[in-house]
Structure 1
Amino acid sequence: MKKIVLYSILALSTCSNAFAQKDTQAKAILSQVSQKYKSYDAIKTDFSFTLDNPQAGVKETQTGTLISKAKAGKYKVTLYTSASAKDVDKEIISDGKTQWTYLKKDKEVQVGDAPKGGDGVNNPSQIFTIYEHGYKYLYTGEQKIAGKAYQAIDLTPENDKQNIFKVRLLIDKEKKQIYSAQLFDKNGNKYNYTVRSFTPNAPIADNAFAWDAKAHPGVEVVDLR
């Protein structure tokens, strides 16, 4: 089972005054992103997810869809079997209190309490507000991709014992939206999310954020609470 994680580190080789200046700039940019995201009642985004470990000869890409109602803490993440297929591989659903993790291949749904805080584990919806709890951040400059300007920010977890030690965000300078997040762990894995489309205030019914047993006959329920 793949875990989706969002964390990071900042590599700093400059004086403390420069750090303070860049840190302030990063905070201002991230605050704009977070405020804009929280102003929406609901969002829908399509993304691609790549796991890359050159030493192990592993490179896997999947596509996914996220729907979220941030104010209510509700989300649904769907990962597909490949970058081109739309067959469901895994779903993570939360109504803010309970989380369901559906593993289609195993015909199993795991039930647990919804995770608290903003650590980003198993929940790509937290990409938009990940920096708010437990992270330091550093603005590292501007990049251009296909003629568009993106602001790069490195995050580092305050707890240096975490396996994932670095996440690099690219933020669309004009739209003030996160374009991509690249994560690095201590085992040599790199995880990369790239937003393919973003729909604010998407029409989403509340029942989208709960497990529908009738629609999944024969699926074993494993209660981990």
Structure 2
Amino acid sequence: MNTFAHMKYLFTTLAIVLSSFLAVHAQAPALGGPSVQSDPDAKKLLDQVSTRFKGYQSVKAGFTLTIENADGKVDGKKTGTVAMKGTKYRISLPGQEIFCDGNNTWSYDKSSNEVKIDKVDPTAHAITPQTLLTNFYDKDYLYKLNGTVPVNGKSAQEIELTPNDKTKPFFKVLVYVSRLTKNIVSTKVFQKNGTHFTYTLNSFTPNSPAVKDEDFVFDQKKYPGVDVVDLR
């Protein structure tokens, strides 16, 4: 898998996590039509999470990505940061950065010192935070509350998400909500190929004054000699 394909793959899984992490501010009615119902206890918990998120103008968080293979062995770990404000976001991983100002995306690879620029298409079906924020819960998933489990030594409630679309590359997402803060603290994505991606939040700062609009735009002057591939 080439570098940019790998970046896109990691970003896809992170977008799933971001959407489960942030999209709960949207309405979460019963999913899949009148004949299929989600767990009302899970909905109640998501509503509590939603209440906290409705007041956030921006979010800045640090996370650890753990990748496990089909045998349950850890293939690698990455630490990164994510910032979001409205339709804008910035994802930073070692050697990789993705910027989006709501209109354009910049995918930067440090090893090749190359950035690819794409236009955001709001009508496309690409997995991005801004598209998932509007339709993630109320159209795409069923959810249920599994119970209480420890996450990093603290008590968390586990919500299981199952995609209605069975052609997706993953078949299950587990979301862990802190019993104390009612914030989502970890998410695990189960790929059909056996790979598991676990994103655990190490820090979480709502309404951070450090989140500024210019952070979501790739500043070419800060990357001397960068090769720009404009795909717009």
List aligned pairs for 1:60-99, cutoff 5 A. 60-69=76-85, 72-80=86-94, 89-99=95-105
Cα 1:34/1:102, change in 2 over 3 Å: farther
1:221 alignment partner, one of 206, 222, 228:
228
Cα 1:45/1:164, change in 2 over 3 Å: same
Alignment: residue pair count: 200
Whether the 8 Å CA contact 2:188–2:196 is kept in 1: the answer is: yes
The residue matched to 2:112 in structure 1 has which SS?
A: coil
Residue 194 of structure 2 is aligned to residue 178 of structure 1: no
Which blocks of at least 5 consecutive residues in structure 2 are unaligned?
Answer: 1-5, 18-35
Cα distance in 2 for residues equivalent to 1:219 and 1:185: 34
Name the counterpart of 2:160: 154
Cα distance in 2 for residues equivalent to 1:146 and 1:213: 39
Cα 1:171/1:120, change in 2 over 3 Å: farther
Cα 1:191/1:147, change in 2 over 3 Å: closer
Whether the 8 Å CA contact 1:131–1:155 is kept in 2: the answer is: no
TM-score (norm 2): 0.76
1:120-172 alpha-carbon deviations (Å, 9 max, x no partner): 94659x79x95344111111111134653211001111111011111100111
Shift of 1:39: 1.5
Cα distance in 2 for residues equivalent to 1:78 and 1:27: 31
Shift of 1:79: 0.6
2:205 alignment partner, one of 199, 205, 212:
199
Name the counterpart of 1:110: 116
Residue 203 of structure 2 is aligned to residue 187 of structure 1: no
2:169 alignment partner, one of 163, 173, 176:
163
1:5-33 alpha-carbon deviations (Å, 9 max, x no partner): 127xxxxxxxxxxx95x611112212322
The residue matched to 1:25 in structure 2 has which SS?
A: helix
Residue 54 of structure 2 is aligned to residue 48 of structure 1: no
Cα 1:138/1:101, change in 2 over 3 Å: same
Name the counterpart of 1:30: 46
Cα 1:30/1:74, change in 2 over 3 Å: same
Cα 1:201/1:213, change in 2 over 3 Å: same
Whether the 8 Å CA contact 1:26–1:139 is kept in 2: the answer is: yes
* Alpha-carbon RMSD: 2.7
140-149 or 207-216, larger mean C-alpha shift: 140-149
1:210 alignment partner, one of 201, 217, 222:
217
Cα distance in 1 for residues equivalent to 2:84 and 2:49: 16
Cα 1:218/1:76, change in 2 over 3 Å: same
Shift of 1:35: 3.7
Cα distance in 2 for residues equivalent to 1:219 and 1:27: 47
TM-score (norm 1): 0.78
